[in-house]
Structures are given as structure tokens and as C-alpha cells.
Structure 1
Amino acid sequence: MAVRKIYESDDFLVVNKPYDMYINSDDENEKNTVTCCIASHDSHLSTSANPLYFVQRLDYSTSGVLCIAKNKTVAALAGRLFEKRLTKKYYLAVVRGHPDFELAEIRYAVGADQSPDQSHRMSVVSNSSLAGDARPAHTRMLILERGFYCKDPVAVVLLKPITGRRHQLRVHCHATSHTILGDYTYSDRMDTAPHRMFLHATRLVLPLPNKPLDIQTPEPFFNDVQFSGQWKSQKLLHKYRNKEDFIAVCDDIDREYIIGVKYKDFSV
């Protein structure tokens, strides 16, 4: 799949990462990487002739906005913005089931799954017994549309991670009993029918001091005939499919509380 550049300056390159693609790899024979598509195989290494600095990460299965710095100085600047939670990230996802809420706060701590043979997974951890790499995590979820995929109930949701833990959105959706459609790992290897995992980083707001970035991709799912051909809408709660409508729902999820919306708090 092609990696499409959606923004470039002297300091930053932003691309729309395809699903099922690695960001980089130390294996020189692995060509299915963002670095191989836009630069050289070793461009993620400091020893590269033209190194690139990934200021954020996306899972192999996740598509969408990926921001890359072109030098150490701006990489450090962007890194501080992420660390201080001054950036804003918005994801579209399709989840299994029809949630009985419209807006949710998910405050489950996330740590490595301690189950045998699950070293690549993360899991919910009790906030009262944080240990090892477990850390508090916070996600907001806004239901945009309910419908059916292959006659199974699903919902299109907007996700805003307040913190940034490994697999946070996938773990939090799974913990609410609404696992992301096509998430092989967190469906216990059961959800194999969809052609992809339906999680897409749709918008990134990076408040740089001189030139703030606000990067948005087109809506990713309904332009995919493999999804749209199997989709049937039941109820639209918020318009979101064009750029202006998506910005409006981002404004909604940024609010602490929305009057008239059924709210649910998930925490342990």
C-alpha cells in the first residue's frame, strides 16, 4: 500500500499510514514499513544519512495520521508537547455491539497482560494496585452512529486519548465490552472475518509555538467498499463524515459535559 504524504515542511513530515504496515524495522529484509516507502530502510536510526524522528507511534494494524520530525531539535520540541499532554489526537473506530451510552469517560489503568503467552498484550489494571509498567490511562468515547456490519451490531465512535499508553484505545474499548471491529489480539483471536482492524488516527493537533499543526485525513471507512458494502445504518447521532462535521464532533468531545447526552463513567 502507498504511504501518502499529507503535510511537509522543513521541520515535519506528516503521512497517512495504511493499516497493516509497520512504522520501521531493524530487519533489512522487511519492506512493509513507512520508512521504506518514504525514505530508506534505516532512516529511523540515528546512524542514517538522513534520519527521521517519529514523535508518535501507531500500531501495525492502525491507520492514519503519523507525524515525523526531520531533526532532533523539533523532535524534542514535539516530544515535550506530547509528554505535557498539550497535543490533541482524535481517532475514528468501529466497535462491536451497540453501546448503551452516548459519551463515556474510560479511566482504566493499563499495564502488561500477565497471562501466559500474552506478552504482546496490555490489559486493565486496578488503579489501587498499580505495579510494574501499569499506569493510569484515560480515554473519552463519543458514539457517532449505530448500525450493522455483516448484520452484526456495531457502532462508529470517536475516541480521544487523554493519556498515551501502549494499546490504550484497544484495551479501553475491549474493557467496555465493545472491542474494535477486526481487532484480532483483543478479541482473543476470534474476530478474523473483517479485512482490517477499524481504528484510524483521523486528526492530530500539535500546538507548535511558531506554526501550529492541525492535520486531518479524510473519513477512512466508508470510502472502503469492503466495509461500506456490508454496512447498514440504524441511527446517526452526530454528523462526522466530512472535514467540517468532524471538527465539530471533536469540539463536542473536548467539552467536559454535553447537555442531553447519556453519559457513562468506566473506572476501577
Structure 2
Amino acid sequence: MKPRNMAIEKLYQSVNFLIVNKPYDMYINSDDENEKNTVVCHIAEQDSHRSNSAQPLHFVHRLDYSTSGVLCMALNKSAAAAAGRLFEKRLTNKYYLAIVRGHLSFKMCDIKYPLGSDRTSPDTSHKMLALTEATRTSCGSPRSAETRLLVLESGYYEDNPVTVVVLKPLTGRRHQLRVHCSVIGHTILGDYTYSNRQDTSPHRMFLHATRLVLPLPNELLDIQTIEPFFSDNQFTSKWTPLSKKYNYCEKQDFIKVCDVIDKTCEINECKVFG
């Protein structure tokens, strides 16, 4: 099976790093040699000297199968170690655009529910669960997790209320953004797993890693993609705008939005969950 016809855009390349714009519905890699719908296979197809083990790609962070956006790979062990230390010390900054179900009643929030494995789901699903009073016995080995959310624009998708938000994970747990949005009652549009398999009409899950900042000592990386949703006719044909709080589709506007979400929340403007 050949990789499906979906190009992977290279956003940045140096002797140490390769950064790409990962398409949605694509694996990063796979232990199944017959699975070719992976970032690794697509890069190897475009860059043949990367197709053997002598030129491995070191993934310094990961994106879910359904999530698109900025994905950073180190091209050598020392670069991978340097980037890994930044992630471990929480010195990186990641910003995601998302569209969530419903209209939010607040401007900004901090979501602080610990996350653990969902003991009620099959082990093979790797599904996660937010720790609440109701899930105390079914949330396995919970670890602290924190996400900041800023509302950008409200509207309707197929006549159903939705909100465009920017999400900044302050920790790096599996499925963190998806579970945190779900636990506050605003599941990400198109998230089949965390909508209890109900959200099946959208053509994709609307979560995109838009900007990644890695403050490496000798190679400061600040990589950003273009806005992915409003250039997609499958989305815009079903979208009706209602109210916009920030401009965010141009790169400089998105940087300003990131500056807003980076500021310490003002007590009267930031709701806290968890």
C-alpha cells in the first residue's frame, strides 16, 4: 500500500531539525510495516536517504492521528536530547487552534483536571479520563494536567453552536486538550472518541497545532503554520459566523493572540475548572 496522496509541508529544516505540517488523519509512525499512512513513510518517499535506519528521525514530541499541525523531529541524538530537556522542563510553548461544540460563557479559562487512563475502556484504546468525583474509581494513575483556553470567535457549524478557541497545554499528557475540552462540556468538533462516538458528521477533528516555540540555546525555533480551517471549503460551506473577539487568521494576528494567552489571567476574566 502506497502512502495516500497527501503532501507533508516542510516548515523548517537545518542540520539538527526537520519541522513539518502534519496532515490530519495520519500516523506519525507505525510498527506495522504494511501501514504506509505515516509521517515517516511520506518523508522517506520525498527524501530517500531518510528511508533507512542510518538516518533515523527522532520525534521530540507527538501529535495524535487526528490532530494536524507543527511536528518537530530531531535529525541527530544530540539535538533530540537538547529538545527533550526543554520539554521535560516545560520551557517550550505550544499553541493549538481548535473548534469546540457549544458557545462558551467566559473569555478565558484554566482547566486543571488531572488525567489518567480510562479503566472502563479496552486497554488497546489508550483512552484517557479526567479525574473528577464521578470518575475517581475509573481513572487510572492520574497525573496533574493544565490547559489554558482563550475564546476567539463564536458561530455555527451546520446550524449547531461552536466556538473557535486557542489552547495552550501547560503540561504534556496524552490526549490532554481533547479530554480537558470534553470534561468542561465543550468537546472538540469532530472528536469521535471523546464524544462517545457521537460526533461523526465533520470530515475531520478540528484540532491543529498552529505554533511551536523551542528556545534552544543555539537555534531558537518559532515555527507557525497558516490557519487551517477557514481555507477548507468543507468547513466554510457549513460555517456561519456570529461574534469575533480577536483576529487570528493571519500569522501576526495569531502571535498577538498567543501573547494574550501567555499573560497571567486576571481574576475577573479567567474561569478555573478542576
Which TM-score tier does this pair reach, normalised by the shorter chain?
over 0.9
Q: CA deviation at 1:211?
A: 1.6
Match of 1:263 in 2: 270
- In the alignment, structure 2 segments of 5+ residues that lack a partner are 1-5
Select the residue among 36, 41, 57 that pairs with 2:41: 36
Say if 1:188 and 1:149 are closer, same or farther in 2 by CA, change over 3 A. same
Q: CA deviation at 1:134?
A: 1.5
Aligned residues: 263
Query: Where in structure 1 do 4 or more consecutive aligned residues deviate above 2 Å?
Result: 116-120, 126-133
SS of equivalent residue, structure 2 residue 255? helix
Structure 2 counterpart of 1:121, which letter? K
Select the residue among 142, 147, 150 that pairs with 1:142: 150
Distance 1:23 1:117 in 2: 22
Distance 1:82 1:114 in 2: 28
Distance 1:154 1:193 in 2: 14
Q: Is the 8 A contact 2:120 2:138 kept in 1?
A: no
Distance 1:103 1:95 in 2: 14
Q: Is the 8 A contact 1:252 1:258 kept in 2?
A: no
Once superposed, what is the RMSD of the aligned Cα atoms?
Answer: 2.1
Q: State the identity as a percent.
A: 63
Match of 2:13 in 1: 8
Match of 1:218 in 2: 226
Range moving further from structure 2, 5-14 or 116-125: 116-125
Q: Is the 8 A contact 1:180 1:198 kept in 2?
A: yes
Match of 2:85 in 1: 80
Select the residue among 134, 153, 160 that pairs with 2:168: 160
Match of 2:126 in 1: 120
Distance 2:121 2:96 in 1: 31
SS of equivalent residue, structure 1 residue 134? strand
What is the CA deviation profile of residues 134-178 of structure 1, one whole-angstrom value per residue up to 9, with x for unaligned ones? 200000000000000010000000000000000000000000100
Say if 1:121 and 1:136 are closer, same or farther in 2 by CA, change over 3 A. same
Distance 2:121 2:69 in 1: 32
Distance 2:246 2:271 in 1: 18
Distance 2:212 2:126 in 1: 26
Q: CA deviation at 1:257?
A: 2.0
1:101 and 2:106 matched: yes
TM-score w.r.t. length of structure 2 = 0.91
Q: CA deviation at 1:132?
A: 4.8
Q: CA deviation at 1:262?
A: 3.3
